[in-house]
Amino acid sequence: MASRLFVRRRDGRIEVKINAVGRAILKEAFVNVLKAEQDPSHQWHVSLNGPIDPSQDADNPLAMFSRQNEISTNAELAGVTVEDNFLNDAEGWAWLTTLQVALRSTVQSYGILDDEKWASAAAEVRGYVENLQQLLFELADVL
């Protein structure tokens, strides 16, 4: 991946300077979020669709439906624009939120909840998580 992955241009658009490897990582993350929403057997499904606790407003079934709809909509927009070299703010936010969901779901599905688990995680998983983090930090920096 390039040194600056995202650049805010004077016209307000976000320029995406990500190579083929970086785009493959993005595509994998976006596709997994979409699949996890629809496929109960997907390893991320549980982290996206946790049990409802009616005592909390955040777990209100209507609020949960709204969140699920937002996740799917953002992931779909991110997936459609993954090959674009320029993003508007809405597309940038869709990428950011979808990457956040992918990062959270990856960490939860591998049980990486503390430093000890992180240290014992496979190098491939750690590399994937680090790549997602880098993409998130750099995108957030221009939004």
15 or 37: which carries more pLDDT confidence? 15
- 104-130 confidence digits (pLDDT tens): 989 988 989 899 999 999 999 999 999
For residues 58-69, give the mean pLDDT. 58
pTM for the whole structure: 0.80
Cα dihedral 73, 105, 31, 84, rounded to 10, equals 70
1: pLDDT strictly greater than 50: no
pLDDT, position 127: 95
Distance, in Å, from the CA atom of 77 to the CA atom of 88, rounded to the nearest integer, reads 12
